[in-house]
Structure 1
């Protein structure tokens, strides 16, 4: 290749790079609407209360509308309720949401709790097994219920791993970072300090968004 051809190819490469940078802004966002995904199974997870009734129940499953019941007189650890969009637990039935950068949320809430949690359970074969859903890494984002008055967006970088999970499974500092590459379950629950109340929740939309091409 002579000098003229090298200069020509160099010029073409520069022009193509400039065109790519300019056209980047016109690429549509990459999106994954989790609440409409046919491969996920919506369910309510709860415990039996002292009166024998469940701590969580559907009000309208088709609309993802449910109620969590936290009565007075029982300890925090004795009551739990969560909404879940689950995949089959294991290495082969997961979704990689680390390819996205943010989550668009539309959640309606009635009650007195100051906080809710967005949760993502990630399967990591170093500490997870398909027989124990709690062994999947428990990544969360704490949300103020005041935010739920309107649609809003959170960044995936806001996820942290809960301290109780790290302590329970003896995870060292080197492996205590959030992981979202093998998510088997995504949902919402309440913080560890329960607020006595009947909590009404309707999950309208959980949508992951990102860029097709990184800048």
Structure 2
């Protein structure tokens, strides 16, 4: 792929990457909200279930949740809490894709500076059991609402496993850290050291914020997209280079043969008339002499003119596997088969190597096409020396009066090359107007 074509693709890829990064930074957000109108089960919890005397009540005040709590002595660690059940264990909600929690929570207490605790309960079947109360891991965050911003924004990475839970539930080291993959409940509770009296916790809402695609995963996707793009560029470049090489090779072969044909016309045919010593048929120089002789009678005796390029398929393999003596015998017999099946007015020559050229004066190309197909079949069906199965490719073209004769040879050569590319053992037709026909 040249630089001119690669540059806009790189610009597009860089632009797409920039847009994706900006979208991920300022968009692609996902939010989970807990409030008075959320569909989750909510309840007031106090220490009476542990033998205490504190009393908690929960009510909805417009769009707010209000927990009124009367802390009373009678239990070592008195508390009240607002419990929100997200799902019934063992089911839960995966909060690992969220990175931030925002709290719109107010706390009115008898003594300033009282702290609140936020609990997240995660159920892991590796150590949690539905019928064992408290077996789900509890992670917590403790803060003083009176000293914090409004709303308070904290990273979920700031949550730690509650020490009292770790002491009561020793688990394997691989599960010792904070886990948020299957959260069943959220609790807003009074602090660990709380003074007796009337307490009120007002929750406007709690939000969990994150990205639809986590940052680490998104970066991997961007890297993967670039790797795939580079691979696609390299693959396209390799395919384009191969096509260019094939086109160049084909062009060079055609140009070489055209140049040889042009040299044929410029030579002195009378002085160079020869026959091929191996096959006994005309060689290029002899063919040129015969063309001059026929053309001397006038265009009416030559046109319409058709040409056939004939090439023996895989001839090099015959020489390599059976020897040059067998290859020479094959060339002689191919010349005999073709010569025996053409008209006396046709001109037949060995063009070089395993290639032959047949010129049919005063014959339409479609008639010659049928002749070429018949010759192809006879070659394919014949028994050859050494048990060889022989096939050949034919290219048929026409030539008109006033046209450079090399152009007709070039079209026949291109048609024969197309037969090679089409699988060999076939006939291809190339007319001046571009119409073609093929048969196998």
TM-score higher than 0.5: yes
Q: TM-score, normalised by structure 2?
A: 0.43
Contact 2:47–2:75, Cα closer than 8 Å, also in 1: no
Hey, what does 2:104 align to over in structure 1? 106
Hey, what does 1:89 align to over in structure 2? 88
Q: TM-score, normalised by structure 1?
A: 0.82
Hey, what does 1:71 align to over in structure 2? 72
Aligned counterparts of 1:190 and 1:175: Cα–Cα separation in 2: 27
Secondary structure in 2 matching 1:34: strand
Contact 1:45–1:84, Cα closer than 8 Å, also in 2: yes
CA-based RMSD of the aligned residues comes to 2.9
TM-superposed CA distance for 1:55, in Å, is 2.3
Higher strand proportion (structure 1 or 2): 1
Secondary structure in 1 matching 2:193: coil
Tell me the number of residue pairs that the alignment of Structure 1 and Structure 2 aligns.
Answer: 211
Aligned counterparts of 1:86 and 1:61: Cα–Cα separation in 2: 20
Gaps of 5+ in 2: 220-440
Aligned counterparts of 1:52 and 1:187: Cα–Cα separation in 2: 19
Secondary structure in 1 matching 2:192: coil
TM-superposed CA distance for 1:12, in Å, is 3.9
Per-residue CA distance 1:42-89 (angstroms, 9 max, x = gap): 1111233899965211244763111222223x2424x33210110343
1:32-47 pair list within 5 angstroms: 32-35=32-35, 38-47=38-47
Gaps of 5+ in 1: none
Hey, what does 1:141 align to over in structure 2? 141
Secondary structure in 1 matching 2:129: coil
TM-superposed CA distance for 1:144, in Å, is 1.0
Q: 1:11 to 1:129 in 2, by over 3 A?
A: same
Q: Is 44-53 or 118-127 further displaced after alignment?
A: 44-53
Q: Does 1:207 align with 2:207?
A: yes
Secondary structure in 1 matching 2:102: strand
Secondary structure in 1 matching 2:96: coil
Aligned counterparts of 1:122 and 1:97: Cα–Cα separation in 2: 10
TM-superposed CA distance for 1:179, in Å, is 1.0
TM-superposed CA distance for 1:204, in Å, is 0.7
Q: 1:158 to 1:164 in 2, by over 3 A?
A: same
Q: 1:37 to 1:98 in 2, by over 3 A?
A: farther
Contact 1:117–1:189, Cα closer than 8 Å, also in 2: yes
Contact 1:89–1:133, Cα closer than 8 Å, also in 2: no
Q: Is 13-22 or 135-144 further displaced after alignment?
A: 13-22
Q: 1:171 to 1:23 in 2, by over 3 A?
A: closer
| Greater relative contact order (Cα < 8 A, sep 6+) | 1
Hey, what does 2:131 align to over in structure 1? 131
TM-superposed CA distance for 1:3, in Å, is 6.0
Higher helix proportion (structure 1 or 2): 2
Contact 2:68–2:199, Cα closer than 8 Å, also in 1: yes
TM-superposed CA distance for 1:25, in Å, is 4.2
Larger radius of gyration: 2
Q: 1:10 to 1:146 in 2, by over 3 A?
A: same
Q: 1:49 to 1:161 in 2, by over 3 A?
A: closer
